[in-house]
Structures are given as structure tokens and as C-alpha cells.
Amino acid sequence: MNLLHMKHALEVAKAGSLSKASEVLLIATPNISRSIKELESDLGITIFDRTQNGMKLTPEGEEFINFAKEILKQIDDVEKFYKAGAPKKQEFSISVPRACYISEAFANFSKSLSKETAEVFYKETNSQRTIDNILNHDYKLGIIRYAENYDKYFKTMLEEKGFQYELVTEFTYSLIMNAESELAKKQSISFNDLKDYIEIAHADPYVPSMPLSKVIKEELPDNINRRIFIFERASQFDLLTTNPETFMWVSPTPQKLLERLNLVQRKCEDNKKVYKDVLICKDGYKLSRLDRQFITELCETKRKYL
């Protein structure tokens, strides 16, 4: 169904004749007549009775004209809405590793949202899904985490897939545990001290071009006999605060969060592995105001804890 034909029919119904509609629309009468005939043919109804006194709506025609008025009004409203400069929706989306310093930056960033309509997506996941979210699920930003020795793997992959990237920070993992844990009482903690405790771990490490089994083996040493694999941080903290036998490797954690959850943070003297958090987006992507605001908060939070 041609919308232009619909407009012609509406004007003919209003004017009551082809000639009068022609004067209003500045279109030749035969062209308007042809539009009406094509519209009737498309719909399979008779919209007008042609009489000596002009064009009269049939019962079907009256029903159609009522529909046409609503349809054309909606189209007109849409055109006016956007041509008048509709207020833009605030949009922000990012996929990140499970990290307290990043979530704190995000919480502070949320204060920068204005009163206007906003859609914000914050996804905690592993590096593979972060990359996939940007490539296939319309996420704009991502932060990926990987061990320093995998740097070439990730940089090669990011360049091949058309990403631009920038280092956020480098760090070694710390341990967090219940303040009542025997581990928390030690002045110095070694790998051997951990073997009788329960490690809370992520089960989805990722390195491009390497078998998952090999990555897991390197990321999760063999000296731990008991592990609980958790995919979201709320349950991780529930375990840590409830069970003094649990511990977890984490990026540096804000002290106020540790105090609130009755947890402590400790270094491990044997842990020398360096990790990188890297901000990524598609090549050519132009940062929005909200993107820049989040990055500012991220840098501020990083300076406090890393």
C-alpha cells in the first residue's frame, strides 16, 4: 500500500471531488484519479462512489479513511519528533572482568547520568565474551584481563579483529579472605599455606589460539585440592564472608568494601605473575560523553587502589 496514494484519498474525501483535491495537492486530476484506482485495487475495496455531485465515500471507504487518518497522523508525529530534534537517549555499554575497582568506578560513574532517558549495560564476564559482546552484541566498550605472558596473543588477535586498545593498569593478584580465617593471621603467605583451604575461582579463563585446558592449568595451580567455581561476584563474597576456609585471588580491592564484608587483603610472597587490564573498542569508534566520563572515573579509582 502506497502512503502517497493514501494521502491523495484522504484529500479527496476532505474536498469531495477530484478537481478540488487537485488544486490543494497541486497534482493533475488524472494522476489523483489513478492513485485512487490503484489504492482500491491494492485493498480490494471501493473507497469512493463516483457521482455527478462528486466523490462520495462508501461504507468501506469511511472505515478506510478513519484508518488512514490515524496512520498518517502517526507518521506525521514521528517526522515532527525527529525533525524537531528529539532528545537523545543516554546510552552506555561496557563488558568488564570481575573486579572491585572497576565496579566502584562504575558506581561513581552512574552519578553522572542526567535526568534524561538512559540505557546503561554493565556486563561482568571473561575476555572472550567481552570481545564477542563488542563484535556481535552492540557493546561499545570492553575491558579485558590477561596475564602479561599472553600479551602477544591478545594484541595480535585484537589487531586482526579490528580493535583499538589501551592499557588501563598492570598488577599482581592479591588474596582476600575472611578476617576470622587462620590465613588472615599470617604475616607472610606462601603458595604452600593455601593448600588446605578452599579456593574460590573463575572457571572461564581465555587466551586466543590456546586450548582451554592448558590455560586453566596455568591459571589454576595444582597445589589446591578444593575449589568452588563461581561466575558472579555476589556469591563469591557470600562464600568468603560465611566460610573462613575460603580465599580468592583478586585485583586490589577497596578497603571500605573489605571492612563492610569483614574481609582482609593479603599479598602472597610466591605470586609474581603480572596481569593487565586493557580497554578495547572497535577501530574508528568515537567515544561518547558517557564513555569519557566512565574512563575518567576508572582512572581516578585506579590511582587509589593500584
C-alpha to C-alpha distances, 76 to 5, 7, 71, 89, 198, nearest whole angstrom = 16, 12, 9, 21, 64
Tally of CB atoms within 10 A around 267: 12
This prediction has a pTM of 0.69
* Class of residue 141 by CB neighbours under 10 A (exposed 0-12, middle 13-18, buried 19+): buried
pLDDT for the residue 220:
60
- Quick: pLDDT tens for 26-46: 889 999 899 889 988 988 999
Does residue 216 surpass a pLDDT of 70? Answer: no
In the chain, the N- to C-terminal Cα span, in Å, equals: 63
- Across the range 272-289, mean pLDDT stands at 95
pLDDT for the residue 77:
81
- Spatial distance between the Cα atoms of 119 and 40, rounded to a whole number of angstroms: 44
- Residue of 156, 166, 183, 157 whose CA lies nearest to 244: 183
User: Amino acid identity of 107?
Assistant: A
Instruction: Give 305's pLDDT tier (boundaries 50, 70, 90).
Output: confident
* Class of residue 213 by CB neighbours under 10 A (exposed 0-12, middle 13-18, buried 19+): exposed
Three cell numbers, residue 12 = 479527496
Instruction: Give 97's pLDDT tier (boundaries 50, 70, 90).
Output: very high
